[in-house]
Amino acid sequence: MNNTIRFIINTAPTTQARPRHAVRSGFSVTYKSEQQKSNEQTLEALIAPHAPKEPFKEAVTVLFVAHIPVPQSFSKKKRELALAGKICPTKKPDIDNLCKQLLDTLTRLNFWLDDKQVVEISAKKMYAEHGKWDVMITGYNDKLNENNK
C-alpha cells in the first residue's frame, strides 16, 4: 500500500516566529504576533484540503522544498543565475525555521498523531519566480519497501 501524500502550496514560505513576551497586570505572558497568527491561518487554509482522512499512525518521512521568490534587487543576470539554480538563497529565512512553521501546521491539521512520528526530514530552499512549498509525506515503511524493490 502506497501511503504518500504530495501537494504544492502556492504561497511564499514563511518562518515560525519566536514567541513574544510581555508583562501585563504584573504577570508575565507569552503570545504570538499578529503576523505569525496570520501566517498560520493562511498555511492552514491552503494545506487543509490535502489533509488525510486518517492521520498517519506509523513513522513518516517528510520532504519540503521551499521556493523563495527571487529578490527584486537582483540584476537581470543574477536573477537568471538564481532561477537556473546556480545561486542559492543563503540569507534569511533559515531553513530550520521554515520547516518548523510547516511541521507545526501539519501537526495541527492531523496529518499524523504526533510530530514525534516524523523520523526523517529532507528540506531544501531554492529561488523561484513565485513563492511556493512542495511537500511530500511518506509512511516510513512504504519508503523502505520502495527502496528494497
Q: What is the pLDDT of residue 2?
A: 60
Helix ranges, the chain (H): 34-47, 76-83, 95-108, 140-147
CATH of the domain at 128: 3.30.1330.70
Determine the pLDDT at residue 38: 81
**Number of domains observed in the structure of the chain:** 1
Check residues 97 and 127 and name the one with the higher pLDDT: 127
Nearest alpha-carbon partner for 48 in 135, 120, 124: 135
- Give residue 144's pLDDT: 57
Tell me: pLDDT of 8 over 80.
yes
Residue 41 three-state SS: helix
Please give the pLDDT value at position 15.
Answer: 77
Give pLDDT tens digits for 33-66. 777 778 888 999 999 999 999 999 999 999 999 9
| pLDDT score of 53 | 94
pLDDT, tens only, 61-120: 999 999 999 999 999 999 999 999 999 999 988 999 899 989 999 999 999 999 999 999
pLDDT score for 1: 43
Residue 101: which domain range? 4-147
19-57: b (≥16 Cβ within 10 Å) or e: eeeeeeeeeeeeeeeeebeebbeebeebbeebbeeebbe
Contact 49, 5 (CB under 8 A): no
DSSP-based three-state secondary structure for 24: strand
